[in-house]
Amino acid sequence: MKLLAIDTSTDACSAAVWQDGGIVAEYEVSPRAHTRLILPMVEQVLTRSGTTLKALDGLAFGRGPGAFSGVRIAAGVAQGLALAADLPLIPVSTLAALARQVHQHHGAEKVLVAMDARMGEVYWGAFVIRDGLPEGRGAEVVTAPEAVPWPEGMRDGSAPIFSDWVAVGSGWREYPQLLQKFPQLDAVYPDRLPRAEDLLPLARSALLRNESVDVAVGIPVYLRNKVAETTLEREQRSRLP
């Protein structure tokens, strides 16, 4: 199987190709340069892997949550490439991708992901690793740090100990109150960012389950829908004569 993945949901910009289990990847932390970087990255990973866009079996992108402009860039580029090459499109959660990254590099089996969403909020998701892939334990949400939900199966107020969980994402650095709600974590990795290569195992699994989507519905997931809708409406008004 051959898959291409791209991610521009944070300050990092990346592209990666999966070819029969081998991965070729490009990654750069360069805020506000994603539009300039992503297509050359795609060309580089395809060339280095010795394949072409039309030879792929599918195309994955980091669908969010994340930076509003960033997730839109990834979705737009992925839609264009998938349409041009008639490829199945696989949106992948950036929170799940971060959980997969921590499992891959540190062996974590239970992961709490909190990415800084600005405006005093975090993008939140809880995951348990099954067969090498993250499974959500509750819905992904955007919320105030003090209001993040317990992982599914734990009752609010039960004050569980999280010594067998790890934490990842910028939210743990920006909002120390999270550490008070989740005591005795096994480890905290606040500086990790999603990479396109982290999307690939999730995308491959989804493609094998026939869970790709039509290009027209391969859209970003913002979670903060009110802000997204307001921005889109403002853009639409600006185009009116």
Domain ranges of the chain: 2-93+194-238, 95-189
Structure tokens at 22: 């081998």
User: Domain 95-189 sits in which CATH superfamily?
Assistant: ATPase, nucleotide binding domain (3.30.420.40)
Strands 141-143 and 22-29: unpaired
What is the CATH code of the structural domain delimited by 2-93+194-238? 3.30.420.40
* pLDDT-based confidence at residue 238 (cuts at 50, 70, 90): very low
Residue 64 and residue 238: Cα distance in Å, rounded? 25
Domains 2-93+194-238 and 95-189 share a fold: yes
**Mean pLDDT calculated for residue range 38-55:** 98
Give me the pLDDT at residue 241, please: 46
Give me the pLDDT at residue 229, please: 42
Give me the pLDDT at residue 227, please: 46
Given a cut of 60, whether residue 61 has pLDDT beyond it is: yes
Burial state string for 139-171 with b = 16 or more CB within 10 A and e = fewer than 16: ebbbbebeebebbeeeeeeeeeebeebbbbbbb
Chain segment 7-35, per-residue pLDDT in tens: 999 999 999 999 988 999 999 999 999 99
Chain segment 161-216, per-residue pLDDT in tens: 788 999 999 999 999 999 999 988 999 999 999 999 999 999 999 999 999 999 98
Given a cut of 70, whether residue 236 has pLDDT beyond it is: no
Torsions phi, psi for 30 (to 5 deg):
-155, 85
**Mean pLDDT calculated for residue range 123-141:** 97
Going 169 to 14 to 210 to 205, the CA torsion angle's sign is negative
Chain segment 68-92, per-residue pLDDT in tens: 999 999 999 999 999 999 999 999 9
Torsions phi, psi for 240 (to 5 deg):
-70, 145
